[in-house]
Structure formats: structure tokens, C-alpha cells
Structure 1
């Protein structure tokens, strides 16, 4: 009799083996590191090389808005671009879809909250903003909007790569350019996609988002990194997201503007003005925004090569793994969710179905695996695309 250690929703558990048909690739699931409303994330290891990767899974059934295809499409579009996790493989079993990618370290949201004052040093914040602005520029240049820009969706590299900031989690991404590279005209209405604290003012009014809206979200993140929690952080967006939108409008003029920009370099007022003056069909002036960041650094005698805060405090990275998740991503307006939820209009890739086999063999879990002391070794066979192929089987 097979001891099938899936959870109650059919998701894989520690000790499972992911094996691809027509391939010698095999990975063992070590532990779950995130369980969210749309997907679960695991640390896995190549059975032969013991190299660790991340695996993101979503259920085949009961998932109101499948988004894993979006992750794979963006990772494929940004293949080889610095600061985007390397795509390894993707496939599915009868119960879930999965994407295997480069493993990264803790996210910026958790790292920030490990600090006593809940903000980074100015030198670290400016270096983060330089890198994350480049990530958005690269993503936009490849025809994709992020629509959920926030610190938890950026993570640092592992080991010697810890100075690199990676963009991840593209579940709300959307193509905004057609095949000719022209910006697609806005729809008459759109669901609020993103996270209430960070989404652009236009999103609160259910307007279609554009490149400058990603930068507006990036700007709110920038202020948070520099001075700590945003002034509307305590407002329950589920109950009144429009109030958050109103608070964002108030910071554009006095007296709220002075209060908002207190403890923030005065040049950042110009950054917000540049973003606000960018039109729907305009390309944001990334270079001018980046120059302002470097002007601030020069004024403060920052070389942009200083050690990051987490480099000076190795325990900080370990502590970040125990900090809870904040800033859940949302879709607001049930009236519009159904329209926005259909992501297949931009997708030409499909998951290839895999067979499952089970081995009735128990083994002792690793010490840090989040699982019971008795777990079945479970092999799930499936075909999958690797990073050598042009189109993943998603």
C-alpha cells in the first residue's frame, strides 16, 4: 500500500521525487518555504548533483486564477537577463503544475523588517533602487508589465551572489505590447491587480495599468525602504482600498507632501513628478530617474559599492527566514475578476500531462524538512521543458 503524503489539497510534500519522462532529470523536494493563495514554493535538490533549486507549484483543480504560466513566460522572456531567476524546467502531474527555477535568498520585505527601525541604510536602499529600477526597465522592454511591484517580490542572491537583487513572482504580469512592439490601448475597465499598499492611484479606480504605474508602485516601495512603513500601511484595503488611493493622492500636495517626504531625500519629489507626468503610451524616463538616484548618492558621499546591510550582518539573512509574510497581493472587484482572470489570451504554451508512479518505501527526512518523521518516497514522472528549449510545456 502506498503512503501518499500529499497535503489535503493534493500538493507535493517533502521527500517526493519529481522525475521527468524521457529525461534523466530528477529532483527531491526538501521542504516547503511558502504557501500562498495561488501557489506553494519548495526547495528541491537535483538527485545526482545535489544542486538546490526552487520549485513553484499550483493546483490543477480548484484554482480560480492559474498564474504559473505567467511566471514561466516572463522567465523565458528574460532568459539570460541579469536579476531574473534562471528558468530550469516546467511540467505537470495529474494534480499540480510546477516550474523549477534558480533558488534565491530571502526577499527584501522580510530583510527590511529584520532591521530595528524597519528600514535599510541609505546606501543599501539606493543600491536596491538602482537594481530594481533596471529590472523593471528590462521587463518593460520585453513587453511585460509587472503589476505587483513591492519589496517581497524582490529577493537577494545566494552566497557570493548576495549583492544581486532578483525580481520574482510574476503572477499578475501582463503583456502590454503587441507583436510589433506597440503599446496595447487601455481597456475601458480593469480589475485592481496588485497589492493595496503599493498599487498605482489609477489601479484604485480600476483603470488599465501601464509602465508608469509599475514605477509608481516602485516609488512607494522606495520610500518604504528609506523610511519604514508607509502612512497608509494600517488601513485595511479589503474594506476600503479607495481610502488608500485617496491617501496616495494627498501626498502630491501640501501639507501631506512635506510629511510624506520627511526623512526621504528631497530629490525624490522630482522622481514622483517624473512618474506622474508620464502618459499611458509613454516610455518612462528610466535614465533620468536613475540619475537622480546617483545624484543623491553623490551628495551623501555614497559610492554605490558599499556593502549591503545583509553583508554586514549574516545573521540578518537567517532571521529573515522567520519573519512572517506581509503585503498580500490582491484582485479587487469581483465584477471584474472574471474578465481579468482569463490569462490564456496571451499564452501559447501548455503543460504536458505526466504519469505518476509511487514507491512504497519509507525513508528518514532531512533534519530541516517540514514533514513528519515517517514519509513515503513518492516519484512523480513527467515530461518537462528545460532551459535549452524554446517553449515550455505549460
Structure 2
């Protein structure tokens, strides 16, 4: 795996992008608000949950969770060192703990206008999974807190995600690329690599299911490699959409898992389609046979078996693992 330092770029921290810490936020650090606080209406009843618009969420991110290097959190124990990534819902920073001499990842999200945060669910899942100690393939929580306008969680620092590891830079702008150029530039993982990734990712999914949750957002960007002694371990991230599988199906996570394998091995049929309507048409009409035609035959059988499951059925993780193990053994013999 690539070193973590190779995957990061130094962000520009000019005054237009990063605000100075306000007195309001400093007061929030001293007076944290409970993550279970109820938000009441003027009449004293619990208000209806309201989702912020994209523009509202972006404005709250700009105001509350863009931090400068040197800002401290959790009683001053953790110091922001650099930006790692940002997205539509939050920002991830590298943080340093001088007492423990260790780096970690600080993930911050603005709360909604009603005070809600998706980090609440992520904290619940990680605390449940790691309740009896460190669980393989899941980051460890070091600290978390919720304030009036933002929430954050500090957890194990990992390396690049699978999407970053298997993607290469395109020299041409997206609108100027041709499908043939993208196929040539886009590289696929070797059988040995994607099988090993698949085995670890499958075990992470099974472990999450065994603790009573479905992920609901299985994709390459949410699986990362570890660092240091864990550099050969795949970790699962981003549990903000996770729910109890009493209400959601475990098979859906397995469908997304097979999409990861197909994309890594031979590419998804629609991944280079630029026309949005055509992309939608392909996704809605493609058959399982066409989707999996380039997968090894034994894996195609596993995909067919998913069609037989209802929303309450337990997937046969062992059968999928046996097929991946056979492919791994065959790859080792053929070297």
C-alpha cells in the first residue's frame, strides 16, 4: 500500500477559506451539549426532524468545521495538524496527541439547524463493535463530543481508500475524455489483490451484521488500508447511514460488495458512460448474467444465490469466502 503521506496534499489555509476560531465556538468547547439532548419547539414538544438543504449544510460547514492547524479539541489534548479530506457532510483532519505521541483522524460535521448529527450513529456503531476490545477491520474511537453547532469524533488514523489506490489521474478534463481513453488510463487490480481485498471486506461486513447493523453505503471509498502494523489490514469506515438489520436487509450490503469486486476485477458496465440518461437506463435494465459475465464462474453462482434471499435471510458468507479462498489458492499456484 502507498504511504499515507503520499496520498495527502497540503491544503491552503488562507483567510477566505478558513475562519479564525470565534468566541462562540470557544464557549461551546467549554460548555458541550449532550449528544442525546432533545430539541424542543416553543410549545415544549419535540420538534419535527427537518433536513437542511445542500446550501444550508455547506454554509454551516464553512462557518463551524473548517479549522486551522493548531486548533485544539477535547480539553486541549488533540491538536489539528492538517486537512485530510472534505466532503458534502463533513471534514476529516489529522490530529496529534502530545501526551500519547500518536496521530489520529478527527472527523467533524456541523449539526443540522435542529441540532442533529450523523456522527451520533457512527459513534453508536463503533462503540458497539469495539465494546469488548479492539475489533479487527474497525477503527478505534479515542474521543468524541457534540457541541451546539458541530460534533466531532477522533478515531484511528488509516491510509488511503480503495478508490484512491486503484484510480489514476486523468490528464484530460472529464468532458473531453473519450471512453477508449478512460479504459486505457483506468487500471484494474490483479486477481490476487482484489481477492485479498474481497476476503477482508467480506469479513468486515459479516462482523458488522453480527453486531446487528447493516452499513447501507458499501463502496470502495469506505474501505481503507491501515498504517504501521496494520498496513495489510482493510478497515471499514463511515457508518452514518447504518441501521439495525431488523428493518433493513443484509443482502443489500452483499450486492454492493459484489459491485466492488466487479469494478476491481473487470470494471462495471456503466462506469465510463457520460450520458446520465443512458447511465440510468443501463443500471435499470442490465441482467445479472450481463453484469457478472467476466467474473469467475463460482462467484457468478454466489451472485445468483443473492436473488433467492428475502429481507430477513442471512447471507451465506462462508460460501462466498470459500470461493474467494479457492481463487486465492489458484492464483498462488499459477504464479
Is the TM value for this pair above 0.5?
A: yes
Distance verdict in 2 for CA 1:13–1:63, change over 3 Å:
farther
Match of 2:214 among 142, 145, 154: 145
Are 1:44 and 2:95 an aligned pair?
yes
Q: CA deviation at 1:90?
A: 0.5
Contact 2:20 2:68 in 1 (8 A): no
Distance verdict in 2 for CA 1:285–1:270, change over 3 Å:
same
Identify the residue that residue 301 of structure 2 maps to in structure 1.
Answer: 270
Contact 2:162 2:224 in 1 (8 A): yes
Identify the residue that residue 156 of structure 2 maps to in structure 1.
Answer: 102
Distance verdict in 2 for CA 1:235–1:86, change over 3 Å:
same
Match of 2:271 among 233, 236, 251: 233
Match of 1:219 among 250, 258, 269: 258
Contact 1:237 1:244 in 2 (8 A): no
Are 1:246 and 2:284 an aligned pair?
yes
Distance verdict in 2 for CA 1:78–1:225, change over 3 Å:
same
Q: Please give the per-residue CA displacement for 1:202-257, whole angstroms capped at 9, x wherever unaligned.
A: xxxxxxx41001000000111111123x112245797688535414xx2324xx35
Contact 2:270 2:279 in 1 (8 A): no
Q: CA deviation at 1:111?
A: 0.2
**Distance in 2 of aligned mates of 1:63 and 1:114:** 40
**Distance in 2 of aligned mates of 1:4 and 1:239:** 44
Contact 1:30 1:42 in 2 (8 A): yes
**Please, which moves more after superposition, 289-298 or 107-116?**
107-116
Whichever structure has more helix as a proportion of its residues is 2
Contact 2:90 2:107 in 1 (8 A): yes
Secondary structure at the residue paired with 1:295? Answer: helix
**Distance in 2 of aligned mates of 1:69 and 1:236:** 36
Whichever structure has more strand as a proportion of its residues is 1
Q: CA deviation at 1:20?
A: 3.1
Q: Please give the per-residue CA displacement for 1:331-366, whole angstroms capped at 9, x wherever unaligned.
A: xxxxxxxxxxxxxxxxxxxxxxxxxxxxxxxxxxxx
Q: Please give the per-residue CA displacement for 1:29-59, whole angstroms capped at 9, x wherever unaligned.
A: 0111111111111110003333100011111
Are 1:15 and 2:69 an aligned pair?
yes
Q: CA deviation at 1:117?
A: 4.4
Are 1:300 and 2:316 an aligned pair?
no
**Distance in 2 of aligned mates of 1:281 and 1:61:** 33
Q: CA deviation at 1:62?
A: 4.4
Secondary structure at the residue paired with 2:62? Answer: coil
Q: CA deviation at 1:119?
A: 1.4
**Distance in 2 of aligned mates of 1:113 and 1:236:** 17
Q: CA deviation at 1:87?
A: 1.0
Contact 1:149 1:217 in 2 (8 A): yes
Question: What residue ranges of structure 2 are gaps of 5+ in the alignment?
Answer: 1-18, 23-60, 170-184
Q: CA deviation at 1:153?
A: 0.3
Contact 1:44 1:54 in 2 (8 A): yes
Q: How does 1:188-207 map to 2 (within 5 A)?
A: none
Q: Scaled by the length of structure 1, what TM-score is found?
A: 0.61
Q: Scaled by the length of structure 2, what TM-score is found?
A: 0.71
**Please, which moves more after superposition, 146-155 or 117-126?**
117-126
Identify the residue that residue 326 of structure 1 maps to in structure 2.
Answer: none
Q: CA deviation at 1:160?
A: 2.8
Identify the residue that residue 328 of structure 1 maps to in structure 2.
Answer: none
Are 1:89 and 2:143 an aligned pair?
yes
Secondary structure at the residue paired with 1:119? Answer: coil
**Distance in 2 of aligned mates of 1:107 and 1:131:** 14
Question: What residue ranges of structure 1 are gaps of 5+ in the alignment?
Answer: 178-183, 185-208, 307-394
Higher RCO by CA contacts (8 Å cutoff, separation 6 or greater): 1
Contact 1:38 1:65 in 2 (8 A): no
